[in-house]
Structure 1
């Protein structure tokens, strides 16, 4: 039953990804395809190499941060095994969302003196921190790009609260606030009263997990280094995204502000479908329209940024998966020989 649920979940997210791919390319005619090819062909390829390097460094820093989280548990795995487990986890997540987290804990437990079940708690902390960082990215994007994405959001908000005559409606605002309060009260009641039901219990577990994860950060011994790696990871995300935007000549004027907005909206795409397939390029394309960038160029940018991230995960994950077993088998052989030296 569990395996069937996993298969159905995978098919759903894969289907969602295919849907976004179709939505991205369905209206592109031959002339527009030529424009996309032209944008990519004339890109500054010297800026694409740093994109790969920065993405790679962010993953390596994530492995080092994970080691910091394991230290209070008494675990000190090697950096190679930790990094390999992280990359293999990303590779698995590209096919089956969230399965990669279990796989990387299991792999590390196989070759290091750690317990997979105890490592799950560290994953919860990581995800909680990432949620907070993503929220900060959105806030910064609104702060620095409010005149572009903020005005679009404001227009939607204003039109939602206008009456038929185009005037601001106090009644609509009151109904909206009442609805928000009612919704929060309803969610609280459902979680408290029907917590024994599996679906409700899972939602409650996620919310409590995030809160518990954030609270457990205080147990980390080297908080300064943990914060450094967290900032470094998201700085590399931002820098690689901005470098990708600069690589296309049609978008090189947008700057770091657009990089913030693209990072935020692109992260949502990565969450929605396995590896962000379809969803990431689609959302980036729609975002670029707010910057008065043509849909063809936006599509080219979306697929360029997504491809860079995916190539690192696919090749890095596959190479490290191949080296992982060999490295640990060789390490065991050396340890065995040393043990039997008279």
Structure 2
């Protein structure tokens, strides 16, 4: 049993990395590396590329500010948690993700709990809200881009396919409705079971998760939450689009093309690979090539930009992980609150 669990843990760690390197090898197996070297030596504007990194850092700092807004309702009546801890754990989570795929978010909640003594499950609920907000933002970006550039997406889907027929077959299948009914029955049975046993650990954990999710409803600064969300995605877009001006073959492309490439590249998070490795490159190369960028140039852009951004986020996160325990030396929020009560 222990051996099986260990094997599963190893596979969860290794498979995303292997799959990512496999996609990279497939995409770059026939590239002219001499041309890539020429771009690095004579064509790349390193100053502009370095400037683009500011947008990525700014977006992740604002992400920490936004997460703090979700956490605040969980600590009502207590001293407010340190804002720096939200920022440092956000930054550090990206570095943890580089080492252990998908583990950064859990590390973020665990480390914040350790510093601020807030239940892990409640923090997990705020994390769900945080990620759901990002999904909504990305969906709005993709819808806007699709409405503004329908030709690109119709070309991807293939105009010759009978999508209406496929949709009619799906809606006419009894298996779809059977699966829907079974899912509803399953959720109903689980809800009844947990309601009859509110003392159960799972029931208490789900209650705390739900409290975390509802934090967006009771937060004091919902307008600020929306502003932060907009700033985060503007920062991520600036992180990506500014890099266009570092290369001679992309600096003349329009903002619309950059938005399409950016929106499509964000979908790479759906592929179970390390940091979008391979999937991000393929989507960006495909989009740039559609708008006239040569394959070698598009592949060079994707390789250089992704590597630069990955190293930057990892280094910044590593610094945050190192700073986090230093800045929290001797800090215990709950004890400070209790001491304050006694003084009053």
Instruction: Give TM-score, length-normalised by structure 1.
Output: 0.81
1:290 is matched with which residue? 290
**In the aligned structure 1, how far is the partner of 2:171 from the partner of 2:93?**
37
Trace 1:32-111 onto structure 2 (pairs within 5 A).
32-41=32-41, 42-74=43-75, 76-111=80-115
The unaligned stretches of length 5 or more in structure 1 are 162-171, 198-209
Residues 316 and 186 of structure 1, relative CA distance in 2, 3 Å threshold: farther
Conservation of the 8 A alpha-carbon contact between 1:106 and 1:116? yes
Q: CA deviation at 1:238?
A: 1.1
Trace 1:11-26 onto structure 2 (pairs within 5 A).
11-26=14-29
Conservation of the 8 A alpha-carbon contact between 2:69 and 2:219? yes
Q: CA deviation at 1:126?
A: 0.8
Conservation of the 8 A alpha-carbon contact between 2:73 and 2:215? no
The 3-state SS of whatever aligns with 1:158 is coil
Conservation of the 8 A alpha-carbon contact between 2:124 and 2:212? no
118-127 or 133-142, larger mean C-alpha shift: 133-142
Q: CA deviation at 1:151?
A: 4.4
Conservation of the 8 A alpha-carbon contact between 1:40 and 1:248? no
Conservation of the 8 A alpha-carbon contact between 1:55 and 1:240? yes
**In the aligned structure 1, how far is the partner of 2:210 from the partner of 2:74?**
19
2:158 is matched with which residue? 157
Q: Name which of 137, 144, 153 aligns with 1:140.
A: 144
CA RMSD of aligned residues (A): 2.9
The unaligned stretches of length 5 or more in structure 2 are 190-208, 340-344
**In the aligned structure 2, how far is the partner of 1:115 from the partner of 1:150?**
44
Q: Residue deviations 1:2-25, cap 9 Å, x none?
A: 554333222221121111111121
63-72 or 216-225, larger mean C-alpha shift: 216-225
Instruction: Tell me the matched-pair count.
Output: 308
1:318 is matched with which residue? 318
Instruction: Give TM-score, length-normalised by structure 2.
Output: 0.80
1:327 is matched with which residue? 327
